Amino acid sequence: MWTKESLRQLVEEKLRGYLFIVVSNREPYIHTFSGREIQCQVPASGLTVALDPVMQCCGGTWIAHGSGNADADVVDKKNKVMVPPQAPQYALRRIWLSKEDEDGYYYRFSNEALWPLCHIAYTAPFFEESAWNTYRKVNQLFADNVLDEVGDREAFVFVQDYHLALLPRMIKEGNASIKVAQFWHIPWPNPEAFRVCPWQEEILDGLLGNDLLGFHILYHCHNFLDTVDKTIEAKSDRERYEVTRGAKKTVVRSFPISVDFETISREAQSEKVAAEIDRLKGELGISDELIGLGLDRFDYTKGIPNRLRAIDQFFVKYPEWKGKVVFVQAGVPSRVHITAYKRINEEIESLVEEVNWKHAARYWKPVIFIDEHLSPLSLMALRRMAHFAVVSALHDGMNLVAKEFVASRFDEDGVLVLSPFTGASRELTDAVMVNPYATDHFAEAIRKAVEMPKEERQRRMRKMREVVSNNNIFKWAADIISELVKLDIGG
Ligand code: GDG
């Protein structure tokens, strides 16, 4: 089983002498002003949650967009600050973007074009030439920072996600000796869906600058190879999962991302969590009701309206559970400048209101809605106090909320209701699977979760814990590093 320690040893052995650099849009720690005081926050992002423990273990430099209003106040001349603040382990190098650049590159191209393009969740992508030009410009800015950070040293650069599709090629053009790998955290669609993108060739060419390109599951690798075959001049080898474009070879592999199981499981047992459970229950007015939990970054891909409709249907069909089950829907609004996100936030709020109005009786209401950034302690308490958790994404690369729920349940209890359209469903086969589009089935799945006998809950949870414990985040990182080292990564 991979641990922090064995990963550290692997890095020391295999990457000795190499500078280890992670590049992503989102930074793992954000400094913001609260009045005149500077606070440090951990963002609600699956990517940073997964990679922070890896960086804490490997050391090196993480290059990302400095998005906090106090970020510039805490960095040195090289725009660097050591993190985590309580026990510094690695350097965070911040890149500054103007409002216009952030708008074009992050909001309009990454999140109004690429995000819906890859998720196919019935929200159409929106392509604008000016956004694309800014995306290219900002990718070049990231490349300039990487090249400056590397200088003439030997380096392994690990690029993250869809915001930086052009970066690998740009890095290689600047310095061909740098080893470059990229992990694509969201699904890769089929070629028919991808071909609506006017810059599909440029994006594929950028990604084929990588030595190694990773997706969560094999299905996304196949979609990627199909897209390459149908779109650009390149030779793809289906047996070896490799693409050759010109003289450059890119190896394509699946690496299901995960969480730091041991740490989550240990922290879940602390007395602080038990106290937080009591505090939260008091604050939310919960006594002995069975608690259902939804915890998401509010996004139209996460299937939150579908979930609320299923809860409504559950109480319509099984009114005997009124007053005995309460559903806590927590999470944070994200990307609020984008119209589709404003709409989903409004839809969620109005559905919560509608379901509560329809079913509420005396002091009881079916849905408790928390739309604020919660501390890691409160998130842990919510996962621990839930009888069941619902992850109902319409399409999701992996979904770490599902794995975090499993990792938190050291008591081997709790039911996971899971969408088959998440990457996580390939591994967590002992969850109660439900198609979030099928409201009646969904309501039945909730009934099953509520009524499941303890022995069955424990049997399923034990198996899921074994899976997440074996395939933890350190295994994910170790597999990527081992694969990279295996390759002939010179050219
Ligand atoms: C992308 C892919 C893939 C949620 N609310 C709060 C909060 N969270 C945390 C959760 C979890 C993270 O945010 C969300 O992770 P997900 O994996 O569910 O989703 P995305 O952000 O969409 O991540 C996804 C992931 O990348 C990794 O590859 O799994 O498929 O879409 O850790 O616990 N965190 C805090 N406050 C909250 O209120 N601090």
Tens digit of each residue's pLDDT (9 = 90 or more) over 258-268: 999 999 999 99
Could you tell me which of 354, 343, 337, 444 has the C-alpha nearest to residue 107?
Answer: 337
The pLDDT-based confidence of 448 (bands split at 50, 70, 90) is very high
Is the pLDDT reported for residue 61 higher than 60?
yes
> How many Å apart are CA 127 and CA 143, to the nearest integer?
23
Pairing type for strands 235-237 and 415-418 reads: unpaired
Report residue 247: phi and psi, to 5°. Answer: -95, 0
H or E element in which residue 249 lies: strand 248-254
- pLDDT value for 45: 83
> Which range (12-16, 145-149, 285-289, 295-299) has the least confidence?
12-16
- Whether 296 is in a domain gets the answer yes
**Mean pLDDT, range 450-458, rounded to an integer:** 98
Is the pLDDT reported for residue 491 higher than 80?
no
Count of structural domains within the chain:
2
Same domain, 331 and 445: yes
Same domain, 211 and 232: yes
* 373: exposed, middle or buried (Cβ count in 10 Å: 0-12, 13-18, 19+): middle
pLDDT digits (tens, 9 = 90+) for 88-138: 999 999 999 999 999 999 999 999 999 999 999 999 999 999 999 999 999
Q: Which of 302, 398, 403, 480 to mutate to test the pocket of ligand 1 (most atoms within 8 A of CB)?
A: 398
* Degrees to nearest 5, angle at CA 80 with 75 and 82: 95
**Mean pLDDT, range 432-447, rounded to an integer:** 98
- pLDDT value for 50: 83
Arithmetic mean of pLDDT over the chain: 96
Same domain, 236 and 323: no
Q: In what order do the strands lie in the sheet with 432-433?
A: 367-370, 325-333, 290-298, 388-391, 415-418, 432-433
Is the pLDDT reported for residue 53 higher than 90?
no
Whether the CA torsion 155, 159, 164, 166 is positive or negative: it is positive
Same domain, 412 and 436: yes
Q: How far is CA 125 from the centre of its chain?
A: 20
- Whether 334 is in a domain gets the answer yes
> How many Å apart are CA 375 and CA 386, to the nearest integer?
17
| Residues pairing with 83 in the sheet | 90
- Whether 491 is in a domain gets the answer no
Same domain, 379 and 478: no
* % of the chain at pLDDT higher than 70: 99
Tell me the two tokens of residue 211. Answer: 């030595």
Same domain, 180 and 288: no
Q: Ligand 1, atom 8: nearest CA belongs to which residue?
A: 44
Q: Ligand 1, atom 5: nearest CA belongs to which residue?
A: 331
d(CA 48, ligand 1 centre) in Å: 8
Report residue 190: phi and psi, to 5°. Answer: -75, 160
Could you tell me which of 434, 433, 429, 435 has the C-alpha nearest to residue 461?
Answer: 429
Closest approach atom of ligand 1 to CA 397: 30
**Mean pLDDT, range 393-408, rounded to an integer:** 98
Same domain, 271 and 243: no
Closest approach atom of ligand 1 to CA 41: 39
> Which range (14-18, 90-94, 175-179) has the least confidence?
14-18
- pLDDT value for 122: 93
- Whether 99 is in a domain gets the answer yes
- Whether 459 is in a domain gets the answer yes
The pLDDT-based confidence of 489 (bands split at 50, 70, 90) is very low
Same domain, 177 and 65: yes
Q: Report the first-to-last Cα separation within the chain, whole angstroms.
A: 33
- pLDDT value for 3: 92
Are the C-beta atoms of residues 192 and 156 closer than 8 Å to each other?
no
Is the pLDDT reported for residue 252 higher than 50?
yes
The pLDDT-based confidence of 490 (bands split at 50, 70, 90) is very low
Beta-carbon count within 10 A of 136 CB: 18
**Mean pLDDT, range 290-309, rounded to an integer:** 97
- Whether 478 is in a domain gets the answer yes
> How many Å apart are CA 462 and CA 354, to the nearest integer?
37
Are the C-beta atoms of residues 482 and 14 closer than 8 Å to each other?
yes
Closest approach atom of ligand 1 to CA 187: 30
d(CA 298, ligand 1 centre) in Å: 10
**Mean pLDDT, range 149-154, rounded to an integer:** 96
- In Å, how far are 267, 310, 380 from 122, measured between CA atoms? 38, 19, 32
Outline where 360-438 has alpha helix (H).
376-385, 400-408
Could you tell me which of 428, 462, 407, 431 has the C-alpha nearest to residue 269?
Answer: 407
d(CA 440, ligand 1 centre) in Å: 27
Same domain, 289 and 437: yes
> How many Å apart are CA 383 and CA 409, to the nearest integer?
8
Q: Ligand 1, atom 20: nearest CA belongs to which residue?
A: 46
- pLDDT value for 485: 86
> Which range (10-19, 225-234, 312-321, 427-436) has the least confidence?
10-19
Longest dimension (CA), the chain: 71
Same domain, 251 and 181: yes
The pLDDT-based confidence of 373 (bands split at 50, 70, 90) is confident
d(CA 184, ligand 1 centre) in Å: 15
Are the C-beta atoms of residues 208 and 180 closer than 8 Å to each other?
no
Same domain, 272 and 239: no
Whether the CA torsion 166, 170, 176, 178 is positive or negative: it is negative
What domain range is 354 assigned to?
261-469
What one-letter code names the amino acid at 185? H
Residues near ligand 1 with C-beta < 6 Å?
42, 44-47, 49-50, 185-186, 257, 295, 297, 331-332, 373-374, 376, 379, 396-401, 404
Q: CATH no. for residue 250?
A: 3.40.50.2000
Same domain, 440 and 480: no
- Whether 109 is in a domain gets the answer yes
- pLDDT value for 488: 56
d(CA 259, ligand 1 centre) in Å: 11
H or E element in which residue 270 lies: none
pTM check: above 0.75: yes
**Mean pLDDT, range 295-315, rounded to an integer:** 97
- Whether 349 is in a domain gets the answer yes
> Which range (371-380, 383-392, 448-457) has the least confidence?
371-380
> How many Å apart are CA 177 and CA 158, to the nearest integer?
14
**Mean pLDDT, range 444-455, rounded to an integer:** 98
Beta-carbon count within 10 A of 407 CB: 27
